[in-house]
Amino acid sequence: MNGDAVPPSLRVVRLSKRYGALRALDGLDLSIAPGEFVALLGPNGAGKSTLFQLLTALFVADAGVIEVDGVSLAQRPSAALARIGVVFQQPTLDLDTDALANLRFHARLHGLGHAGLQRAPVLLAELGLSEQAARPCRLLSGGNRRKVELARALLTQPRLLLMDEPTVGLDPLSRRQLLDSVRRRCADDGLAVLWATHLVDEAEAADRVLVLHRGRCRAEGSPAAIVAAQQAPDLQSAFVALTREPAPGRAEEADA
Amino acid sequence: MRAGHAAQALFAICQREVRRFVQQRSRLLSALVRPTLWLAVFAAGFQNVFGMSVVEPYDRFVTYQEYVAPGLLGMVLLFNGMQSSLAMVYDREMGMMRLLLTAPLPRVYLLACKLLAGTVLSMLQAYAFLAVCAWFGVGLPWGGWLSALPALLLCGLMLGALGLLLAATIRQLENFAGAMNFVIFPMFFLSSALYPLWKLQESGATWVWWLARFNPFTHAVELIRYALYGRLNGEALTVVAAATLLFFIAAALGFDPQRGLVRLRRQAG
């Protein structure tokens, strides 16, 4: 899928970030092909959110390269950001207004014009939110709020979807529905997804898993390959084994 | 940055600010009650205490109410600048700033949109207060409603930019009340809003006079005062324009991810 003509949807090379004395990310390499669903599996403090903050240009990396769909984030930040859809770990909905207004605000912020405004109710309907579209977001359940955020992230028709622990606080059914919605987009639209989580069952649904621990990649491959490499009975055991000990060569605690 | 995209984003940000303002009905009321109390109670009480000599920009004797009206217009702008800043800190806590700053537009432009949106609200409130002044029979010239527009706009931008700078430096909502006390009250009282500067000098309060001379809010009030009578105060215009630029540049640096004065709440993970 990652042929000569088609650049990877995300390419990260030797990415590093420090916060004072803390090394949050330490030379991370990552590549995601179009249509690929990659789970970024790591315990709390692994550096997942730091990676997302760098990928969304909220912070600037100390070293390394980030390319989205072949566009350098450092050199052409607006063009790169226009290719990314994000669902942040922290909810980012305007709770005082309804789902449709939240999406329309986003459409204008991204300069999508009339087409974007028209796409908003269609996307909400696709995610089963037609009846909730006109209700203030404050009155929506946690699961539906997340779906609104997903619809908003998809509104810009991104090449890369970043999901930063999107299922935190959701019940098992809502988690499954959200995961299924995103998987469908991957398969149908060729959307590349980076899904950060510390929940192993979510990672098991991924094409590829990258285990992040203390700012470094500890293992990468399909869930089955990681289990086999660790000679573990399942991914949960492999994950525990990979993140039990400090990464080599690290004197300080990573990330906050 | 495409012009169409820039216009859409500016519209969206302004529309959101106005909608929130309209939704918070008490906000307009409190924005008007504050200066109205000063006008109706404080100024009425001191009407016979403070005699206003015929000094520029006045060509006749003016009542104390008429003297204090531009200062109270400045107060409206000052409070709204701080209110916009508070809304930004709230947005940051609620994650909305994160969404805004990851839009595919230059960060400086997004901040300028925020500033303009806040200034639109300042204008609405300033003109509502001008109506209150007219209702109280303050006697400001009607032509001043139009001639003061550019001055009100520039002063609204300056105080909005100051609010932006505060939002860039204040980390948490809880710290905001304290910071506002250190900005609003000194700025307002150490200015020509309530009394002409020469009165301070005359009364021997030299250090207060000096501080008031360097206070950009003094120049904002004087710019509005002169403009209300169709006159231009060049010194005030220069100071206000320079302060606007300075505050905005400092705020933009504060929101620069490279410099990272702003700490968007870091998450675990």
| HEC profile of B4-41 | HHHHHHHHHHHHHHHHHHHHCHHHHHHHHHHHHHHHHH
Find residues 22-81 of chain B whose CB sits inside 8 Å of chain A: 23
Tokens linked to A67 = 């390319």
pLDDT at residue A253, as a whole number: 41
Distance from CA of A181 to the nearest CA of B (A): 22
CA distance A48 to A64: 16
Is the confidence at residue B258, as pLDDT, over 80? no
Tokens linked to B40 = 């109706």
Is the confidence at residue B239, as pLDDT, over 80? yes
Q: Do A49 and B16 touch (CB under 8 A)?
A: no
Q: Is B266 on the interface with A (CB under 8 A)?
A: yes
Nearest-5° Cα angle at B220, B219 to B221 = 90
pLDDT at residue B51, as a whole number: 61
- The pTM for the full model equals 0.86
pLDDT at residue B56, as a whole number: 74
Q: Is B108 on the interface with A (CB under 8 A)?
A: no
Distance from CA of B108 to the nearest CA of A (A): 12
Q: Which residue type occupies B104?
A: P
Q: Is A69 on the interface with B (CB under 8 A)?
A: no
Average pLDDT, chain A: 89
- Closest listed residue to residue A84, CA positions, set A196, A194, A161, A9: A161
Quick one: closest CA in A to B15, which residue? Answer: A105
Tokens linked to B207 = 């250090």
Is the confidence at residue B114, as pLDDT, over 70? yes
Helix, strand, coil percent content, chain B, rounded in steps of 5: 75, 0, 25
Q: Which DSSP helix (H) or strand (E) runs through A16? A: strand A10-19
Q: Is B198 on the interface with A (CB under 8 A)?
A: no
- List strand residue ranges (DSSP E) for A70-203, in order: 71-72, 84-87, 160-164, 192-197
Question: Are the C-beta atoms of A133 and A100 separated by less than 8 Å?
Answer: yes
pLDDT at residue B49, as a whole number: 67
pLDDT at residue B25, as a whole number: 79
Half-sphere exposure in the Cβ direction for A21 (13 Å, CA): 3
Is the confidence at residue A255, as pLDDT, over 80? no
Q: Do B23 and A109 touch (CB under 8 A)?
A: no
Is the confidence at residue B267, as pLDDT, over 70? no
CB within 8 Å of B232: residues ≥ 6 apart? B226
Task: Report the pLDDT averaged over residues B174-195.
Answer: 85
Quick one: closest CA in B to A102, which residue? Answer: B16
Q: Is A90 on the interface with B (CB under 8 A)?
A: yes
Q: Which DSSP helix (H) or strand (E) runs through A40? A: strand A37-41
User: Which residue from B12, B104, B264 is facing A58, i.e. has the nearest CB?
Assistant: B264
CA distance B58 to B56: 5
pLDDT at residue B92, as a whole number: 82
Q: Is B19 on the interface with A (CB under 8 A)?
A: yes
Q: Which residue type occupies B68?
A: V
Q: Is B263 on the interface with A (CB under 8 A)?
A: no
Mind listing the pLDDT tens digit for each residue in A25-50?
A: 999 999 999 999 999 999 988 999 89
- Print burial letters for A87-103: b (CB count within 10 Å at least 16), e (below 16): bbbebbbbeebbbbbbb
pLDDT at residue B195, as a whole number: 86
User: Which residue from B101, B104, B267 is facing A89, i.e. has the nearest CB?
Assistant: B267
Interface probe, candidates A62, A95, A109, chain B, greatest B C-beta count within 10 A: A109
Mind listing the pLDDT tens digit for each residue in B124-181?
A: 999 999 999 999 988 899 999 999 999 999 999 999 999 999 988 877 777 777 777 8
Mind listing the pLDDT tens digit for each residue in B82-92?
A: 988 888 888 88
Q: For residue A228, what pLDDT band results from cuts at 50, 70 and 90?
A: very high
Q: Is B197 on the interface with A (CB under 8 A)?
A: no
pLDDT at residue B89, as a whole number: 84
Is the confidence at residue B22, as pLDDT, over 50? yes
Task: Report the pLDDT averaged over residues A215-238.
Answer: 93
Question: Are the C-beta atoms of A17 and A24 separated by less than 8 Å?
Answer: yes
What value does the CA radius of gyration of chain A take, rounded to a whole number of Å? 18
Q: For residue A171, what pLDDT band results from cuts at 50, 70 and 90?
A: confident
Q: Is A88 on the interface with B (CB under 8 A)?
A: yes
Q: Do A49 and B257 touch (CB under 8 A)?
A: no
Quick one: closest CA in A to B260, which residue? Answer: A59
pLDDT at residue B231, as a whole number: 94
Q: For residue B196, what pLDDT band results from cuts at 50, 70 and 90?
A: confident
Q: What sign results for the dihedral spanned by CA atoms B204, B159, B28, B181?
A: negative
- Per DSSP bridges, beta strands A192-197 and A160-164 are parallel
pLDDT at residue B259, as a whole number: 55
Q: Do A113 and B13 touch (CB under 8 A)?
A: no
CB within 8 Å of B249: residues ≥ 6 apart? none
Q: Do B5 and A111 touch (CB under 8 A)?
A: yes
pLDDT at residue B24, as a whole number: 83
Q: Do B99 and A106 touch (CB under 8 A)?
A: yes
Q: Do A86 and B102 touch (CB under 8 A)?
A: yes
Q: Is B3 on the interface with A (CB under 8 A)?
A: no
Is the confidence at residue B34, as pLDDT, over 60? yes
Mind listing the pLDDT tens digit for each residue in A85-98?
A: 999 988 899 998 99
Phi, psi for residue A221 in degrees, rounded to 5: 155, -175
Q: Do B98 and A108 touch (CB under 8 A)?
A: no
Is the confidence at residue B266, as pLDDT, over 50? no
Q: Is A187 on the interface with B (CB under 8 A)?
A: no
- Per DSSP bridges, beta strands A192-197 and A37-41 are parallel
Residues of A in contact with B2 (CB under 8 A): 111
Task: Report the pLDDT averaged over residues A220-225.
Answer: 94
Residue A205 burial (10 A CB sphere; 0-12, 13-18, 19+): middle
pLDDT at residue A248, as a whole number: 46
Q: Do B98 and A79 touch (CB under 8 A)?
A: no
Quick one: closest CA in A to B10, which residue? Answer: A109
Question: What is the spatial order of strands in the sheet that A71-72 belongs to?
Answer: A22-32, A10-19, A63-68, A71-72
Q: Do A109 and B9 touch (CB under 8 A)?
A: yes
